[in-house]
């Protein structure tokens, strides 16, 4: 099964199968002869198809059920049935058929891999890892099992183990752009951006038209503070047709870091056209407006963030800076109180050095606020 396939829901399988051969009387005599040993095969009873199968899907499944009625001890027949259910998204039912195939043929690495993928789809990741292990014990050079196992480890946040699994997968198949890409994402998750950049470049050397890899490459370059190079990677992703809100926001951030506030503002607007519910992008937009000295518009942008997330500390703090510039001291104090309530460790140290607050530092109400803030800090540390 290709990467991370999974099974489905079908009901209860009654294991053991019998062949309906000949007349009823002959079958009765056959059962009587074998009754003492209790080892005869019984009639194959397949579970009914899942209730949510369409008529077309039910028709697809029928030939596999008929094959099993004729060859109930054939692990390949069970495997094929499981694979079809898997493709239909019927993971629980597929899992039952994979299990039956493995009862009949325990040394079946493809079935262990697909079983693991079904478990992954059902959210049973620890069990999936054990099945991938079994597949790899049987076939150590099984790329798909190794690759899928790495993906599962990444889903669980076990980045170092995932990285080792991707390394093993790449030894088996060094020309897999998907493996190089996910290898790079794993390194990025570990904060190793130079290494992730190398992996992305290897993925792009194999498949240079993968827009998602270009975007991730841009993110790595951004984290390395190579903003112009990041911008070029984002532009390539856009040229290839990736038009997500996240990409436009990342593009805007790189422009902003390069001092291109107006261009950044345009990019943030493009991002918000695609997803107006992204509160952090409204913050980025507000910061660009501040750099353009458009403080009233920035206040409205931060307000949009706070409509979406009233506890967004950065939006409160940024609003406070705008209100200070506008000389609106009560509003600045109110916004700062919220920022300090939500994230005191970040914003309390900034009160003494924030240039925006120098404009209102002599105001009695702001001075009183600073005194209260200092008092609350002293009481918190004693």
Is 301 domain-assigned? no
Is 97 domain-assigned? yes
Give the pTM: 0.81
Residue after which a domain boundary falls, among 221, 242, 263 = 242
Burial annotation 32-58 (CB, 10 A radius, 16+ → b, else e): eeeeeeeeeeeebebeebbeebeeebe
**What average pLDDT does the segment 218-232 reach?**
98
Q: What is the pLDDT of residue 50?
A: 78
The closest of 242, 277, 243, 283 to 264, measured between CA atoms, is 283
Residue after which a domain boundary falls, among 138, 172, 191 = 138
Mean pLDDT of the chain: 87
If asked whether residues 116 and 165 sit together in one domain, one would say: no
pLDDT category at 65 given cuts 50, 70, 90 is: confident
pLDDT category at 379 given cuts 50, 70, 90 is: low
pLDDT category at 47 given cuts 50, 70, 90 is: low
If asked whether residues 90 and 25 sit together in one domain, one would say: yes
Range of the domain at 134: 1-138
User: How far apart are alpha carbons 91 and 117 in whole angstroms?
Assistant: 9
Is 7 domain-assigned? yes
Which range has the worst mean pLDDT, 46-55, 207-216, 220-229? Answer: 46-55
Longest dimension (CA), the chain: 106
Residue after which a domain boundary falls, among 242, 269, 285 = 242
If asked whether residues 144 and 122 sit together in one domain, one would say: no
Q: Is the pLDDT of residue 214 over 60?
A: yes
Write the pLDDT tens digit of every residue in 155-210. 999 999 999 999 999 999 999 999 999 999 999 999 999 999 999 999 999 999 99
Domains: count for the chain? 2
Determine how many CB atoms are found less than 10 A away from the CB of residue 116.
30
User: For the domain that residue 151 is a member of, what is the CATH number?
Assistant: 1.25.40.10
Is 249 domain-assigned? no
Q: Is the pLDDT of residue 17 over 90?
A: no
């Amino acid at each position: 099964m290709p990467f991370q396939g999974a099974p489905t829901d079908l009901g209860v399988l009654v294991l053991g199968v019998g062949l309906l051969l000949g007349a009823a009387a002959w079958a009765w005599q056959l059962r009587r002869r074998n009754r003492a040993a209790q080892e005869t095969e019984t009639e194959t009873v397949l579970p009914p198809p899942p209730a949510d199968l369409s008529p077309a899907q039910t028709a697809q499944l029928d030939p596999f059920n008929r094959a099993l009625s004729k060859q109930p001890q054939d692990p390949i027949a069970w495997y094929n049935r499981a694979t079809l259910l898997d493709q239909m998204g019927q993971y629980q039912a597929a899992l039952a058929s994979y299990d039956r195939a493995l009862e009949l043929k325990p040394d079946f690495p493809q079935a262990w891999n697909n079983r693991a993928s079904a478990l992954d789809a059902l959210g049973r990741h620890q069990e999936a890892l054990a099945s991938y292990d079994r597949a790899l014990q049987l076939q150590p050079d099984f790329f798909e099992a190794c690759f899928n196992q790495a993906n599962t480890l990444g889903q669980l946040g076990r980045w170092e183990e995932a990285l080792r699994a991707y390394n093993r997968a790449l030894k088996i198949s060094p020309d897999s752009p998907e493996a190089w890409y996910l290898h790079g994402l794993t390194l990025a998750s570990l904060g190793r951006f130079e290494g992730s950049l190398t992996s992305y470049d290897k993925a792009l050397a194999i498949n240079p038209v993968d827009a998602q890899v270009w975007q991730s490459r841009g993110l790595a370059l951004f984290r390395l503070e190579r903003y112009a190079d990041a911008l070029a990677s984002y532009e390539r992703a856009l040229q290839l047709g990736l038009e997500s809100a996240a990409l436009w926001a990342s593009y805007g951030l790189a422009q902003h870091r390069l001092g291109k506030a107006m261009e950044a503002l345009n990019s943030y607007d493009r991002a918000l056209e695609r997803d107006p519910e992204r509160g952090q992008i409204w913050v980025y937009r507000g910061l660009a407006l501040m750099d353009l000295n458009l403080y009233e518009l920035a206040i409205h942008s931060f307000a949009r963030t706070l409509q979406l997330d009233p506890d967004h500390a950065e939006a409160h703090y940024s609003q406070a800076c705008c209100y200070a510039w506008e000389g609106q001291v009560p509003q600045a104090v109110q916004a700062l109180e919220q920022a300090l309530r939500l994230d005191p460790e970040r914003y309390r140290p900034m009160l003494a050095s924030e240039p925006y607050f120098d404009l209102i530092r002599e105001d009695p109400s702001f001075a009183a606020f600073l005194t209260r803030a200092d008092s609350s800090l002293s009481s918190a540390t004693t």
